[in-house]
Structure formats: structure tokens, C-alpha cells
Amino acid sequence: MRRRLGSVRARATLGATLVVAVALLAAGTAVLLSLRSSLTGQADARAERSARDVAAQLAVGTPYEDLSSMDDDERPVRIVDARGTTVAASEDLERISTPDADSGEDSEDAGDSRDAGDSRDAGDSGDSGDSGEDLDPGEIDDEARYGGGSATVDGETADYRVAAVVVRDPEKGLLTVYAGAPLEAEQSAVGTALTVMLIGFPLLLAVVAGVTWRVTRRALRPVEGIRREMAAITASTDLARRVPEPDTHDEIARLARTTNETLAALETSVERQRRFVADASHELRSPIASLRTQLEVGVAHPELLDVPGAVEDTVRLQRLAADLLLLARLDAGEGPAPGTRIGLAALVREEAAGRAGVTVTPPAGPGEVAGSRGQLGRVLANLLDNAQRHARSAVEVTVRREGEWLVVGVADDGEGVPEADRERVFERFVRLDAARSRDGGGAGLGLAIARDVAVRHGGTLTVRETPAGGALFEFRLPVVR
């Protein structure tokens, strides 16, 4: 049970059902209260009409025995004089509650002695006695008082709404007419509405739960397909597979597309790692084999040992190992230490010092960059090594400021880099045709390391053609404010 409730589908169904249940409860309560208020108002109107009908007859001096509506059991009437004495009542009326909020009691029977002038309705601001004193003979009070209670007619007790109207009889003086209207029909209507709600609401909630369950199952079906395919990819380690993308434009379709993009990036990364390992193994094999051969010859024939060649191969192997170690650290996410400020122009002059054929143009403006001095020096050294390897006679280095950037340009007067290879030249272990000789070139890692370090420092490294046709590498870094 806990597992089923832990699913998105079950939680969505439960949540939707609870929301609808609360909404139905609030709406049902409001409807019942509104219906009850409306029906109670109608009962008050009926009771007031009966009371005013009798009051109108009293206003013209009609005797009690000649009053009409006094024999209507559906609307019992009771008439009380100024002393609170019942002077007339419907034939079968035994007891009726009167709107007397001050006393908090109901009259016990039609002959109860109660001062009608002191009675007050719960919603009335004045009392009937005060208002009745201002009435002229034959005048009926415009204000009516209402109350709820019960009445006993012909031995049967039921709930009634009672209206009280004050009238001044020309002969009998101030009189109060109490008329009641039964609430049986109203209570029946409210009860019917409540019964319908009690039966209909659970059915409606069941329909909402069922529809939500089916809709969420259909909506989440692609998610289950994505999960199954991801589980299969994990089990098979086949990164060429892709999850199914639904033909929709919702969040699930975007999730599937993002998942496939992640798989594609992961496949590219893994393939790149495999190529890196294979190329590294190949590049390491040559110097190691050469060094081993020289050492074996030296063991057998010491006089034939090529010590300078062995040292050269050892240095080459050491540089290659250092390059591979730096690339591994960069791939692991190693970045520059924060807070280190470096004068880039001074670093350029330092790296260019002592190199034949390299000239440095003074910087156009001051500026510092943040990063690793060792890694940035490695970038400049790699760019200078590459430029000297391909230059015919000269290498020119410039440092300039462009807005919030410091730009280092390393230009040579060689053959340049073909436009089609200007991005490929930054890939690892890539050596173009003009630089494929291992005697004059490296392992093809220098520019790859330079590009990775530039990116880690928030900068860029690009190559384009100089006006003379050579290669111009531009190394951009953000200036530290």
C-alpha cells in the first residue's frame, strides 16, 4: 500500500480527489445555507401576509369572531392585547412560540399572559410597545418582527416561523397579531437536497478519482517507457541507444529530448576517452620502445650506447606524461585557484624571453587576470612552441586590451592553418600534415591543453589567418576589476 501511494499516479489521484471533496463540501454547505435562508424568508413572508391580513381586519374594527383566516390550521393566528392577554386565537391552536428574544421563552399556550409590548425580535432594534404607542387608531405598524419556534395545532407539534404585527384597533386599542407559517415543506426541501448531496457527492468523487487515475496513467506512460529504456541502457552499457520521444510538446517530451542529449554527450565523452586512451598508449609506446632498444644495445655493446638519444627520448616521455596528467586534471574539473591576480603582459615577456625570432609588442593598456600562473604560462609556452615550429623566420606576440578582455596574439609567418582545420587543430593528438614529423613536432596535445586551460579560466582560444598568410592564435581572458 505504501509503495502504491508513493507513485506519482496515486498521489495525483489522491490530491485531485481531496481538492474536489473540499470544493464540493464548501459548495454544498453554501447551497444548503442559501436554500435554507431563502425558504425561511419565504415562510416569513407567508406568516407576515397572514398577520397583516388579520391586522387589516382589526384596523377597521372587525369583531374577533368575524375575523377570517382564524380557522386556517396551516397558518395559526394568535391576538394579544396591550396587557399581554390572548384575546383571540385560531380554533385548534394550543400553543405557539412568539418572537420574544428578550425573555428567551416561548409562550406555553394560546391563553398565556405575556406583555406583547415588551417582546423584541432578535433582529429588531426597538420594541413593539414603543412603536405601537405612536400608531393612530386603525393604523398598522410598518415593521414586522419574526421568530422561529414551534406550534401545537390540534395536538400536533411542528416547527413554524412566526411573524408579529402591531395594530391599533379603534375600539380595543393596541393589539399584536402573531401568525405562523409551517416549515414542513422547507425542511423537506432542505432534507431532499442534503440526501441528493450525500448520495451524489461520493459518486462524483469516485468518478473524479477514476478519471484522474486513467488520465495520469496515460500521461505517465511515456515516463515509464523512458525509465525502462534507461534501465536497459544501464544494463547493456550501450550508449548508442536512445529513449523514445513522445510526439507531444509537453514536459515529458522535453525530458525525453534532454535525456537523449545527455546520452549523446555521454557517448561522445566515453568515445573521446577511449580515443584518448588509445592515442596515449600509441604515443607512449614509441619513446618507450626507442628507449628500451637503446638501453638493450647499451647493455650488449656499451660502446654503441646513444646517451644523447636516450636522454632525448626520456625528456620526450616526461613531457608526454606531464601533458597527459594535466589533461586528466582538467577533465576532472580542476580550475584555477580563486583570488590569484596575474599581470598578463609580464607573464608574456617572461615566457618569450630567450626565444630566438620572437618579438613582443608592448601592451596598449594595463590589466590583470585571475587564474593559475603555471597553467597560463603553459598556454603561452605551448602557443610559442607551436608558432616557432611552423614559422619561417619570425614570431610576433602582442598584448592588447579590448574592453573587459585582455587579448594575447601569437602570429607566425608560416603557411597558416587551413580554414577547414581551424577547430580540428585543437583536438587531442591531432597533427596536421605539415606537423606530422615527431622529430619536429609534439604529440598533438599542446593546443588541446591550451584550449582547455583557456576555457577553465573563462576565456577563449581561436586561430585565424594573418594578413601575410600565417597563423594567428588569439588567447582572450577577462580582466579583473
User: Per-domain residue ranges for the chain?
Assistant: 1-233, 251-330, 337-478
* Cα four-point dihedral sign 336, 342, 348, 352: negative
Q: Residues 29, 23: contact at Cβ < 8 Å? A: no
Q: What is the pLDDT of residue 73?
A: 61
Q: Residues 220, 214: contact at Cβ < 8 Å? A: no
- What CA–CA distance (Å, rounded) separates 176 from 284? 119
Report the interhelical angle of 446-456 vs 373-390 (nearest 10°).
Answer: 140
Vertex 74, ends 115 and 126: CA angle to 5°? 30
- Residues facing 360 on adjacent strands: 397
235: its cell numbers: 544494463
Q: What is the pLDDT of residue 72?
A: 66
- What CA–CA distance (Å, rounded) separates 233 from 393? 55
Write down the residue that cell numbers 517507457 correspond to. 225
- What CA–CA distance (Å, rounded) separates 418 from 425? 10
Closest CA to 244 of 267, 221, 266: 221
- What CA–CA distance (Å, rounded) separates 470 from 415? 5
- What CA–CA distance (Å, rounded) separates 19 from 11? 12
- What CA–CA distance (Å, rounded) separates 362 from 349? 9
**Cβ contacts of residue 179 below 8 Å, gap of 6+?**
47, 48, 50, 51, 54, 75, 76, 77, 78, 162, 163, 165
- What CA–CA distance (Å, rounded) separates 237 from 256? 19
Q: What is the pLDDT of residue 328?
A: 79
For domain 337-478, is the CATH number 3.30.360.10? no
Q: What is the pLDDT of residue 472?
A: 95
Q: Residues 112, 19: contact at Cβ < 8 Å? A: no
Q: What is the pLDDT of residue 442?
A: 62
Output the CA–CA distances (angstroms, integers) from residue 258 to 218, 229, 249, 254, 262, in the order listed. Answer: 21, 14, 13, 6, 6
Alpha-helix runs per DSSP H in 237-300: 251-300
78: its cell numbers: 394568535
| CATH numeric code, 251-330 | 1.10.287.130
Q: Residues 145, 120: contact at Cβ < 8 Å? A: yes
Per DSSP, 426 falls in state: G
- What CA–CA distance (Å, rounded) separates 289 from 317? 11
- What CA–CA distance (Å, rounded) separates 445 from 454? 14
List per-block mean pLDDT (blocks of 10 residues) for the chain, which spans 481 residues.
Answer: 62 89 92 89 88 88 80 79 86 76 41 37 38 77 86 83 89 88 86 90 91 86 85 84 84 87 86 76 78 82 78 80 80 72 90 90 78 91 92 92 92 90 86 51 79 92 91 94 78
Q: What is the pLDDT of residue 113?
A: 36
Q: What is the pLDDT of residue 82?
A: 85
Q: Residues 169, 58: contact at Cβ < 8 Å? A: yes
Q: What is the pLDDT of residue 339?
A: 65
Q: What is the pLDDT of residue 132?
A: 63
Report the interhelical angle of 8-59 vs 184-236 (nearest 10°).
Answer: 170
Q: Phi/psi zone of residue 245: left (φ > 0), alpha (ψ -120 to 50 degrees), beta?
A: beta
